[in-house]
Amino acid sequence: MSKQPLRPDLALIAEWIKPGARVLDLGCGDGLLLDVLQRERAVRGYGVEIDDQALLACVRRGVNVIQANIEKGLSMFGQGRFDVVVLSMAIQATHQTEQVLAEMSSVGAQGIVSFPNFGHWYHAVSILQGRMPVSREMPYQWYDTPNLHLSTPADFEQLLAKLGLVVLQRAFLANGKAVNWLAPLRATQAIYRFARA
Amino acid sequence: MQVKAERMFFSEPLALAAGGSFADYELVFETYGKLNAARSNAILICHALNASHHVAGLNEAGEPGWWDNMVGPGKPIDTQRFFVVGVNNLGSCFGSTGPMSINPATAKAWGPDFPVLTVEDWVHAQARLADRLGIACFAAVMGGSLGGMQALAWSLLYPKRLAHCICIASTAKLSAQNIAFNEVARRAIITDPEFHGGRFYDAAVVPRRGLQVARMIGHITYLSDDVMAERFGRLLRDRDPDEAYRYTFDIEFEIESYLRYQGEKFAGYFDANTYLIITRALDYFDPARAFAGDLSKTMAQASCRFFVASFTTDWRFSPARSREIVQALLACDLEVTYAEIDAPHGHDAFLLDNPQYHQLVRAYADQIAINLGLSA
């Protein structure tokens, strides 16, 4: 239905998902990723969303969506029933970050997480100038941000290791374009695909 | 929208869950909109405890249907593109064969001899009505509360005869607390001296006091604590809040007056035997019982898509009950959308205007229409 382009991190996530996969998209927003995956990759899945307006947007697209708070647990979704569990640009706003990651890995065979890279050089410069960074991926002032748990790629990989999860694939984007050289400093977004060791 | 009820007579015996069968019954129903040439645009609306076939529009008495805010031209269930059927269930008291009808064996009202019915019995009867209306497969079967149970039962008993199940403010089985409230209501009726063991028609009386108490109890469970506090609080009846109490057992508080009014109104139109039958059907509904209590195995009988919704302040059939249904559907890999609607009104919310609720149903119905290729 919709012809609107996918956000770059979502486009990359979509490429990582095999046709026909069973997908659970946590914090699915308006359901665009699932909509595209359903139409272009014959993916079957459900979105999970807490926000009323986003839920309505999903229903209007014909995307299956479950209204729930992902931080209250994912037991409703059973164990190992999904090929992929996606959490895009939302992990930094979770309270129970470690628990959410652990549950993702038990609900699905693989997890895909994208998040804003707090280690971007601009953030360091901003802090050296005495100010909290405000950027495209993190457009909030320090006093009104929903972000609680910001991290760098190295931080994130450390948490995956602590949870017994291994990185299957990683990608870094700067303003929507892939970066390789000095990625931890230059990337504005990081995307990881992981599974239980 | 002016509507007129129709009647359909059924002579083939209907086998009942309680054993035996029921022959020669009539169902009263209303329809809205037009059945398309492909006969694919029909939606069945199942009613809850005290409602009827009169779902939408104005009947001959000028009364609006019980779900008129949901069903009609331009409403969330838009009768300009869907053909909507409302049917009064067997055993009810709004025109379909029920305890007030004449038992051909005795030439007297059935009264307490009317068989105990189940949700499944109703669904089988509704399926026969669908046969006669030429509807092989409903675009959707939809209901709230007890109506939602019928929609669920449809998905299990006739999985090929519905494309979508819309189950609102419902549950896959009553809790002990739910059954307890029903039992209090039934005892109020049965112990009313004017009940006469259910043969009160012969004595030309009505067990009004029992019906009133039953309705008062029911009504408390339909409202949330918050909505009662907001609407009534500790307001005094016909007095300023700071006036002295009367120190009597007459009506003192506004809530007492409200409940008595609801009870009296109800006793004026509802049949006592029907109340027993319908509350019992609620109690007995437990499709997972045949699967050792495993709701996932139960829902595996279904193949349609589901829209499940609950209301945050509904403590009669709380969101947790709907989540159990959703969890079972997810375990079966069935397509499901679930909304937990933030509404202050308790169980009653499923009948009320709520923008989020109505927009969601409208959006879901739009998708049904798009998938069917129906024009707007």
**A52 at the B interface (CB within 8 A)?**
yes
Nearest chain B CA: its distance from A185 CA (Å): 41
Statement: residue B143 has pLDDT above 90 = yes
pLDDT at B214: 98
Structure tokens given for B1: 């929208």
Rounded Cα–Cα distance for residues B56 and B70 (Å): 8
What is the tens place of the pLDDT at every residue in B161-195?
Answer: 999 999 999 999 999 999 999 999 999 999 999 99
The residue of chain A nearest to residue B326, with distances taken between CA atoms, is A76
Give me the residues paired with residue A195 across strands: A110, A166
| B40 a catalytic residue | no
Contacts A–B by Cβ distance under 8 A: 52
Q: Which residues of B touch A (CB under 8 A)?
A: 323, 326-327, 330-331, 333, 335-340, 342, 356, 359-360, 363-364, 366-367, 370-371
Note whether A65 contacts B337, CB cutoff 8 Å: yes
Which residues of B are less than 8 Å from A22 in CB distance? 333
DSSP symbols for B30-74: EEES---TTS--EEEEE--TT--S--SSB-TT-PBPTTTTTEETT
What is the tens place of the pLDDT at every residue in B81-135?
Answer: 999 999 999 999 999 999 999 999 999 999 999 999 999 999 999 999 999 999 9
> Binning pLDDT at 50, 70 and 90, where does residue B241 land?
confident
Statement: residue B22 has pLDDT above 80 = yes
Statement: residue A148 has pLDDT above 90 = no
**A59 at the B interface (CB within 8 A)?**
yes
The residue of chain A nearest to residue B327, with distances taken between CA atoms, is A76
- So what's the ipTM on this one? 0.95
Of B180, B179, B178, B187, nearest to B214 (Cα)?
B187
> Binning pLDDT at 50, 70 and 90, where does residue A118 land?
confident
Strand blocks (E) in chain B = 6-10, 14-15, 21-22, 25-32, 42-46, 71-72, 77-78, 83-87, 102-103, 108-109, 140-144, 164-168, 305-311, 336-341
How many angstroms from the chain centroid is the CA of residue B340?
A: 20
Which residues of A are less than 8 Å from B370 in CB distance? 62
Contacts (Cβ under 8 Å, ≥6 apart) of B152: B165, B167, B170, B172, B287, B325
> Binning pLDDT at 50, 70 and 90, where does residue A3 land?
low
Statement: residue B375 has pLDDT above 80 = no
| B145 a catalytic residue | yes
pLDDT at B304: 98
- Mean pLDDT, chain B, rounded, equals 97
Q: Which amino acid is at B374?
A: L
> Binning pLDDT at 50, 70 and 90, where does residue A1 land?
very low
What is the tens place of the pLDDT at every residue in A54-110?
Answer: 999 999 999 999 999 999 989 999 999 999 999 999 898 899 999 999 999 999 999
Contacts (Cβ under 8 Å, ≥6 apart) of A158: none
Statement: residue A152 has pLDDT above 50 = yes
Note whether B330 contacts A58, CB cutoff 8 Å: no
**Greater model confidence, A100 or B374:** A100
Nearest chain B CA: its distance from A88 CA (Å): 20
Active-site position among B54, B164, B345, B347: B347
Statement: residue B12 has pLDDT above 50 = yes
- Chain B interface, best mutation among A2, A76, A77, by max B CB count within 10 A: A76
Statement: residue A21 has pLDDT above 70 = yes
Average pLDDT over residues B34-60: 97
Of A60, A89, A106, nearest to A191 (Cα)?
A89
Compare CB distances from B356 to A52, A60, A77 and report the shortest one's residue: A52
Compare CB distances from B326 to A22, A60, A66 and report the shortest one's residue: A66
Note whether B337 contacts A56, CB cutoff 8 Å: no
Statement: residue B368 has pLDDT above 60 = yes
* Angle (nearest 5°) at CA B351 between B334 and B132: 65
Active-site position among B40, B96, B101, B145: B145
Compare CB distances from A64 to B335, B366, B370 and report the shortest one's residue: B335
**Greater model confidence, B64 or B241:** B64
Structure tokens given for A167: 């990185």
Which residues of A are less than 8 Å from B363 in CB distance? 56, 59-60
Average pLDDT over residues B334-340: 98
Distances (CA, A) of B173 to B43, B158, B183: 24, 19, 16
Return the SS3 of B325: helix
Active-site position among B314, B318, B322, B345: B314
Note whether A62 contacts B327, CB cutoff 8 Å: no
* Angle (nearest 5°) at CA B114 between B111 and B116: 130
Which residues of B are less than 8 Å from A56 in CB distance? 356, 359-360, 363
Rounded Cα–Cα distance for residues B40 and B18 (Å): 33
Average pLDDT over residues B209-215: 98
Structure tokens given for B363: 């959006």
Structure tokens given for B303: 């193949």
How many CB atoms sit inside 10 A of residue A172's CB? Answer: 21
Note whether B338 contacts A77, CB cutoff 8 Å: no
> Binning pLDDT at 50, 70 and 90, where does residue B376 land?
low
Nearest chain B CA: its distance from A6 CA (Å): 22
% of residues, chain B, pLDDT over 90: 97
Compare CB distances from B331 to A65, A66, A78 and report the shortest one's residue: A78
| B175 a catalytic residue | no
Give me the residues paired with residue A117 across strands: A151
Rounded Cα–Cα distance for residues B67 and B233 (Å): 28
Quick one: CA dihedral A37, A38, A39, A40, positive or negative? positive
* Beta pairing, strands B6-10 & B25-32: antiparallel
